[in-house]
Structure 1
Amino acid sequence: MGKIGFVERMPIKRQLILTFVWIMVFSVACTVITLVFGVGWIVSNKWIRPANSYENKIPSLVAYVKSQGDAILDPISRPELEKRIPGDGIQYQAVDLSGKPLYGTMQERKFPTKQALIENLNTTKSAGTTKSFGGMFIRSVPVMSATGDLKGAMLFRYKLEATTAASGSNWINLGIVLYFVVSPFLYVALFTSLFAARFGKRIARPVHNLIEASKRIRDQDLDFTISYKADNELGKLTESFENMRSALKDALLREWKLEQERRDMMDAIAHDFRTPMTVIQGNVELLADTPDMPRSQAEGHLKVIEDNIRKVNRLIQDVQIASEKDLEYFPLRGAHVSLRQFVQDKEREIGFMCSSRRVRFSFEYEDLVPNAEEAVFMDVQRISQVLDNLIANSFRYLPAEEGWLGVRIVRIASALQFEICDNGPGFNDKDIPHVFKKFYRGDKGQSGLGLYSAKAIVEKHGGSIRALNRQEGGACVAFTILTAAPPANDEEH
């Protein structure tokens, strides 16, 4: 990448302001030069009439009317009168003593009565505005006979505004004046185009680099760097893009490592399958080869088969969890459910599992919010999955004799607390900080997938989970979930 100039290093806002200043300075300078030449041309050609040019003609017209006497009211005098009146700026009307129009370029009647006419003689009154910046005025001139009798009046309506001295057909003059008027806009457009092009080149430089970088990322090529350095928004953007590229590369490397760990985990689980399957096969063959085996002895072999089938089921569950690549992104299917019914169902279900394994079982439910609504919001299937994982994990490590499992559920404000404890060997102290990590294998060979999935589900419910050892001996896993319904658009994550 080439050298970055001083202006290019500025913040985009400052570059825009500087570009705008340049545009205005050059535009104003050229406009001033154009107007100086334009005013000089107009003055030298006397092309602009002053605003009172028509007003200055009124006195001569008044004198002419007085010189003609009442003969001016005869339409035969019209041609001679119009020779003295500039028709582009002055209109006139001859009226009799009653105010009735006799002839002229104004058609409408101005004075309805003789009295109104007499009251307005020798006056100049406003007659409205013009299309440009100016006004219209009417001068009323009395018409007297030779004997001094009032016979009528002449009305002159004139403009009071600056006008051009050239005729309407002088297109060259009009074009020049039009250019003087629009020249500021033309200069602004011209210099905006020039300076915007330079500004665009400065912007396009890093943008093209970002586009090229995105294409390389699309082609899965991450072995490059973006070296554009500037203390502005584009510099920060390219720096962020470079950080993203670096992070993406690291993420892909981590993903590759994770996939490798997953394969290793699957290999380990496949290896773990061999032992229980071998035990099951051996006991099944022994039962098949010894049809006369005493029932008490056969029940022992069946118990061994049953225990190893449970191990196989556990390994199958681990395989399912290991195959869920994006377990963190699974959706919740929350709904309002009866808390009492949920507690009763879980007590009955867990109690049945414990009785079938000859495990002592204790179940406690405490409601610290007695006046709360019966229904709570949660994903029943997922919370049941958490309980099943934790209980199955406890069953694996219960002693063969006098095994005990305890479940305690406590309702607090907008939350439920669960605690599953047993009297097994408990957790190793060094394993406790890691038991909820994906693919963690402790000293006792557990994969940790069940606890990992339990942690993911609990956190999806806005809660937390922790593992600890009982003072009396054995392990406990406690977790809390929130039971308040989220906003409608957040019910599925």
Structure 2
Amino acid sequence: MKLKTRMILANASTVIIPTIITVLVALVAFFVFDKLFGSGISYEHQQKQSMIKVKLINETSTWKQTPEVLEEESYQKYLLEQLAEIHGELMLIKDDEVEFSSKKFSKIEVAKSLASGNIKGRNEPVVINDVSYTVFVTDLMYKEGSKGSLLLLVPVDRWETSFTGLIALVSITFIITFAITNIIISYQFSRSIINPLYTLQSAAAEIAKGNLDYSIVEEGDREIQELCRDLELMRIKLKESVHTQLKYEDNRKLLISSISHDLKTPVTSIKGYVEGILDGIASNPDKMERYLKTIALKAHQIDQMIDDLLLYAKLDLNQIPFDFERVDIAEYFQHCILENEPELESNKIVISFHNELNHKRNVLLDRERMKRVIMNILDNSRKYMCNDQGEINIFLRETVASIIVELRDNGSGINEGDLPHIFDRFYRADAARTKGSGLGLAIAKQIIEGHNGRVWAVSHGKEGTSIMISLSKS
């Protein structure tokens, strides 16, 4: 449920529920009063009683103009019949004497009735024989000069006497139920928000302590669930970021260690030959020349190593842009073979090209970067070639979506356990992998991946190794 919907329902419930309970209590009270007082509070009775009251009160003008009509027996009978319908009483007073009454009243009761009816602005009820009456007094003036009064005693409506109590009951019921409902709903509503917030607070405290394995459970309303989901994603991303940072830190330490190791050997050699020259060990021109050539070779190795390291770093940081163009893959590899064939032949290595493509196929390549890949792989095969007659065969094949390039040599091969790691920088798992800068295949992998391709190795045991390259067709 949405938090907004829950708030609307909670606010509406704090009013609707007390209202329903109050209405039910009022109906029950009305039912109880009806059973206690019979039909006295029925709608028909109330309507009939009101009509008779209004009818009698409207005749007061007639009584004032012709008070003698009240002395007629037939009219008195008519008034008694009307009053009997509402259980009322009648008193006709002339010259301070009761001329006619519907029943016998004592002098005290007559005085109380007169006193109650003569209070201006109020009709306070008078109690006669445990019955409350509202007194309506009409002053009369007879033609012969006598004064009198007509008193109508109308029973106080039992509904009216109970209405105040009913209103008080309904009001108290509404206030109590409103307070209880508000407390319950507020508690339930706050719990649905506070409990997930407590969970988030605990999770935040754990994450602040560095415990990134503390998962955040989705609970509560939809908005809070979305917040939990976002914070859980943030935790996962933060954990991955920390893991990556630690990995980079380990790689940095490994890089420093590997660079130190790889640079130490040629630097030590240079230092030894320089000291030999300074100490006069190179006493003749031939030996001096041999020392200097060795120093130049070692310096070249250091320079090549630094160049490879800078290139790898730039590729790793995506700082080298690729200049892609559509290239005929078979023609491109034939050209690469022609460029590298003389150097390989000088090392007694024969290179062969086998085009197994049925048709001309184009691939998006950066010519210079891909040439660096081929040179690194061929140079790697040349360095670790152990046969007197080395062979390198390049095969071009295709699948439905890609071109497969296989560069296979007949060298010493690679152990199966080392295959997944030979493209890692400075990998030194095997003694046969201790030559060179250790970055050649790592650079090749970076360039291939920059072409959205894939590179892997297949070992043929003592029969050599194949480097496989997969490139997407254009």
The normalised TM-score by structure 1 is 0.47
The normalised TM-score by structure 2 is 0.49
Larger radius of gyration: 2
